[in-house]
Amino acid sequence: MSAHEQCPHRDGRVDLGPEFKADAPARYARLRTLGPIHPARFHLGLEGWVVVGHDLAREALTHPALLKDSTPAAEALAAAGYVLNKPSVGLGGQMLQADPPEHGRLRRLAAAAFTTRRTAALAPRVERIAHELLDVLPAAGETDLVEAFNAPLPATVIAELLGIPEEFHTDFRRWSGQALQVASPDHRTALASLHRMLAGLIEDKRRDPRDDLLSALVAVRDERDGRLSEEELTGTALMLIVAGHESTVNLLGNAVLALLRHPEQLALLRARPELMPGAVEEFLRHDTSVERSTNRYAAEDLELGGVRIPRGGLVVVALGSAGHDAPQAEETDPAVLDVGRPHARHLAFGYGIHHCLGAPLARLETAIALRVLLERVEGLELAVPEADLEWIGSGIIRGVRSLPVRYRVGPHRA
């Protein structure tokens, strides 16, 4: 019997809906025992394949005939009412949805504004924001850690980095959360709202440039050879907001939840804060916030992992699953959380030409936020049964909608 015939679903397809997402690590583990690739059903009834094995994931992420161009699948996408990459509607006009040679041009131009220097310079500000968020909490009690800490920290960082005025912060945080929840009725409205906000801010930066990333992107649009189009400028800024903000919000949530599930690891990280950089890699490997890749489409008939994928076939890579299948530096159980694991290997930021441009910022924010949290917050524990936690039900993001905790917070000792 083939792996696909053993697939634990009635019609032989893995249904990647809300029920799957709430229990994704265990379900991916089961699928990996059956094979590295499986037929799957996605949002709006779209059908394709999900890659769950590490080695095949790397192959799929770099396959020259698996592209972001959805033209071969246009008929199936339209029939499903899929949000296509239209100006002011989808996430088009940016490198995440582009193929070579356009991808290389867009990435080079974005990288010219999103520099290592600009990212590294954020460290002191990230730490101040973390302390400020804890300073306003009562000394002890219960709070939703997502709302009180995990969400506002990266939201404030990306807003200040881009130069988004404070009066827009509440709206852009709400819209960015809704934009990645593709089954939400607010999905399209949120994307359109972010486009309108950014279009207005771009005009403001063009008239009055400041020392911020959005002004730098406007300069790239207006001054450089091979410059960004207006749609590409807006799309790139939108991608930085949505992808950069939501992935870090949920990486923090997943990391804290993992530590609460493994108190011995929490104690170890408190006692040895020098482990934090490696621990962040382990959190990315163990339960990453970007559960799976964006869609790829077969530009021609091809074979992947022994499976025939026809032209137009949809392929998605389960990035979180790949981290549990990746060979590690030591022969340790990949199902176990180990904050001292040396050189944890994962595909949380993708692989190949689409490797996440914002990975250094995500690592920086997560390491600083967790360090400050563990330094100042004692008695951290879930305030509800774990079974009561609600997981985000659609889209590529994995995380809980809220994380109610009990805590005691100490003073900031500079």
How confident is the model at residue 235, as a pLDDT? 85
Span 14-409: which CATH code? 1.10.630.10
How confident is the model at residue 302, as a pLDDT? 97
Q: What's the chain's Rg over C-alpha atoms? A: 21
How confident is the model at residue 81, as a pLDDT? 73
**CA-to-CA distance for 140 and 160, rounded, in angstroms?**
30
Which residues does residue 391 pair with via DSSP β-bridges, in sequence order? 400
Residue with tokens 């940016």: 94
Could you tell me the residue ranges of all domains in the chain?
Answer: 14-409
**CA-to-CA distance for 160 and 152, rounded, in angstroms?**
12
Letter string b/e over residues 322-348, b meaning 16 or more CB atoms within 10 A of that residue's CB: bbbbbebeeeeebeebbbebeebbbbb
How confident is the model at residue 231, as a pLDDT? 83
DSSP string, 24-91: HHHHHHHHHHH-SEEEEE-GGG-EEEEE-SHHHHHHHHH-TTEES--GGGHHHHHHTT-----TTTSS
Letter string b/e over residues 193-202, b meaning 16 or more CB atoms within 10 A of that residue's CB: bbbebbbebb
Query: In Å, how far are 66, 147, 198, 221, 225 from 347, measured between CA atoms?
Result: 17, 28, 30, 31, 33
Characterize the bridge pairing of strands 47-51 and 314-317. Answer: parallel
Cis peptide before 101 (omega within 30 of 0): yes
The structure's pTM equals: 0.91
Query: In Å, how far are 45, 127, 150, 269, 312 from 275, measured between CA atoms?
Result: 43, 18, 21, 7, 45
Give the pLDDT means over successive 10-residue stretches in the chain (414 positions): 45 88 93 97 89 97 96 87 52 79 87 82 95 97 97 92 90 80 75 88 93 87 69 84 84 98 97 97 96 95 97 97 85 87 93 93 96 97 96 89 96 82
Are 191 and 90 spatial neighbours (Cβ–Cβ below 8 Å)? yes
Letter string b/e over residues 369-394, b meaning 16 or more CB atoms within 10 A of that residue's CB: bbbbbbbbbeebebeeeeeebebbbb
CB count in 10 Å sphere of residue 257: 20
Give me the percent of the chain exceeding a pLDDT of 70: 91
**CA-to-CA distance for 344 and 287, rounded, in angstroms?**
12
Residue among 325, 356, 324, 349 nearest 337 (CA):
324
Question: 157 by DSSP, 3-state: which?
Answer: helix
How confident is the model at residue 89, as a pLDDT? 44
Phi, psi (rounded to 5 degrees) for 47: -120, 145
